[in-house]
Amino acid sequence: MVTRAEIGVIGGSGFYSLLDDAEEIEVSTPYGPPSDVVTVGRIGSRSVAFIPRHGRDHRFPPHRIPYRANLWALRALGVTQVLAPSAVGSLRPEIGPGALVIPDQFVDRTSGRVQTFYDLNGAVHVSLADPYCPTGRSVALSAARSANWETIDGGTLVVIEGPRFSTRAESRWFTANGWSIVGMTGFPEAVLARELALCYTSLSLVTDHDAGVEAGEGVTHEEVLAFFAANVARMRTLVSEAVTALPRERTCSCGSALDGIKLPFELP
Ligand SMILES: [Zn+2]
């Protein structure tokens, strides 16, 4: 593969394009095709590969997204750092629509999703105590703050299976556990990124309050999409700022996630 990129962006609901004058590349992977053609272009002096997580026409619901193919395709293109914008619901009254959360933890409440590349020929146990890249998080935080975006540093993203939204009881339980936001795509994406030794940073845009939160009346998919669409231009600018601010040399430990582990096959 000739075209290379150093930074990957996986766009969420409503975020279907990022790069102008980009080359469209059909990447094939051992896990089938990614959500869509990958567009590769430049932001400033950085080469970037973009994948719309749900496909450009939003054809993949959260539980059907080809997560493994998406991450594999990015690594195959040379990507080492991934920024992952997504729409989330807030589990706290004080975190309202429009806030940007850069979570530092997640809790998996999905069921039945394939969550590993390494399911044959030996076990591979990666560390996931801190699932997100510390460098990516701090870059995203400062980019958001310089854009005067209401930004929350840290918090736990609970990932539900979907496609349905939470019941009030589930939502209240999540809040009672101290979790901050709820989404449907953060897992297994973060895990698969770590399994490929990629840096991964979640940029979680709050679109609404979840059903059990005071002031939360529950949401419709249309409302989420409309809100996210209204914020896409802002998110695109933020992602571009973060891309140019990411360091070229990685000093975090994400790249060493597989050191000393015998892999059952070669990574791209
Ligand atoms: Zn990292």
Predicted confidence pLDDT, tens digits, the chain (268 residues): 567 999 999 998 778 788 877 899 999 999 999 999 999 999 999 999 999 999 999 899 999 999 999 999 999 999 999 999 999 999 999 999 999 999 999 999 999 999 999 998 888 999 999 999 999 999 999 999 999 999 999 999 999 999 999 999 999 999 999 999 999 999 999 999 999 999 999 999 999 898 878 765 667 778 777 887 788 889 999 999 999 999 999 999 999 999 999 999 999 9
CA–CA separation, 253 and 256 (whole Å): 5
| Ligand 1 geometric centre to CA of 4 (Å) | 19
Altogether, the residues listed in the chain come to a count of 268
Cβ neighbours of 230 (radius 10 Å): 13
Place of tokens 């059903």: 211
Query: Distance, CA 192 to ligand 1 centroid (Å)?
Result: 14
- Assess contact for 221 and 184: CB atoms under 8 A: no
What is the whole-number distance in angstroms between the Cα of residue 131 and the centre of ligand 1? 10
Q: Is residue 109 classed exposed, middle or buried when 0-12, 13-18 and 19+ CB atoms within 10 A define those classes?
A: middle
Q: Report the b/e string of 113-134 with b at 16+ CB within 10 A.
A: bebebbeeeeebeeeeeebbbe
Residue 225 phi/psi, 5° resolution?
-65, -40
Q: Measured on CA atoms in the order 102, 107, 112, 118, is the torsion positive or negative?
A: positive
Ligand 1 centre to CA of 250 (Å) is 7
* Catalytic annotation, residues: 208, 210
Residue with tokens 């540093």: 153
SS3 state at 131? coil
By the 10 Å C-beta count (0-12 exposed, 13-18 middle, 19+ buried), 218 is classed as middle
For residue 136, give the nearest of 217, 213, 193 by alpha carbon.
193
